[in-house]
Amino acid sequence: MAELDILDTQGGIMIDTSQKGGIMIDTSQKEGLMVTIKECASGTVGGIVQVLVGQPLNTVKVVSNLS
């Protein structure tokens, strides 16, 4: 990359006009996206497990309180 017109360090976007004016995405932004996807997936699985374990226990608690 010879010349950079715009370098956005926050978003990781570099616009290079020296080579046909392409837009390049920084690799750290891709890694951050993968971390975000993994965190979202693990949170989803954790929430599902919490409901599957907690719901029957809550039902037992409610039934025992009614009797």
Assign 67 a pLDDT band (cuts: 50, 70, 90): confident
pLDDT digits (tens, 9 = 90+) for 4-60: 445 555 555 555 555 555 555 556 767 888 889 999 999 999 999 999 999 999 999
E strand or H helix at 6, and its extent? Answer: strand 6-8
Residue, of 1 and 49, whose pLDDT is higher: 49
Q: How far is CA 6 from CA 20, 32, 49, in A?
A: 14, 21, 46
Radius of gyration of the chain measured on its C-alpha atoms: 24
Cβ contact 51:35 at 8 Å? no
Cβ contact 28:12 at 8 Å? yes
> How many Cα atoms occupy the beta-carbon half-sphere of 52 within 13 Å?
6
pTM for this predicted structure: 0.51
Instruction: Supply the pLDDT for residue 45.
Output: 96
